[in-house]
Amino acid sequence: MSDRLLVLVRHGQSEWNLKNLFTGWKDPGLTEKGIAEANEAGRQLKAQGLSFDIAFTSVLKRAQHTLDIVLNEIGQTDLPVRQHLALNERDYGDLSGLNKDDARKKWGEEQVHVWRRSYDVPPPGGESLKDTLARTLPYYVQEILPCVLRGERSLVVAHGNSLRALIMVLEKLSPEGILARELATGVPVIYRLNADATVASKLDLAA
């Protein structure tokens, strides 16, 4: 039986995660902690004895840098990598670059909470989680899933909200369920799929 392996990793902590800023499509780098998280993700995958045939990431450098570090840790720096903006983080629009506390002062606690935690209400000029799903899921179905089902062991390093789109499908979560699903930075989630693309097994390496 082919090993239908799909591993998801959220990028390590970014400079703007640390500063409590809305990041979205802005492009800050990793912090020292983020680099350490990426190294640890690679070590965890190596300890599981995993190797890959292909990797996917976004066009944002915090995800790309995390992927580079992981591949270095597992000794696969020559792995084919596909980059696509479909895997980018949710676009926070007018909130991007703002401190979350400052945004609450400007628009109110309740409104900012709605933008952050509702499924289908976008911030001004940005995307809702539903919008993010609408661009991420077709890419998964058309590009990533066929590789997995062919037995190409696939690694996806992306962002909290774009990975939620994949998790929503894999774990058959409702809109309410996916809102409650937290993803730690730099922690691999290992799926093995059945031939019909459903999940045969899941291993979350969060401590």
In whole angstroms, give the CA distance from residue 179 to residue 96: 20
DSSP E strand boundaries for the chain: 5-10, 54-57, 81-83, 154-158, 189-193, 199-204
Catalytic site residue 11? yes
Residue 4 φ then ψ, to 5° = -85, 80
Contact 3, 151 (CB under 8 A): yes
3-state secondary structure 57-88: ECCCHHHHHHHHHHHHHCCCCCCCEEECHHHC
* Catalytic entry in 11, 37, 152, 159: 11
Tokens of 141: 């179905």
* Active-site residue, selected from the candidate residues 40, 89, 127, 152: 89
**């390590």: which residue's tokens?**
12
Give the active site residues: 11, 89
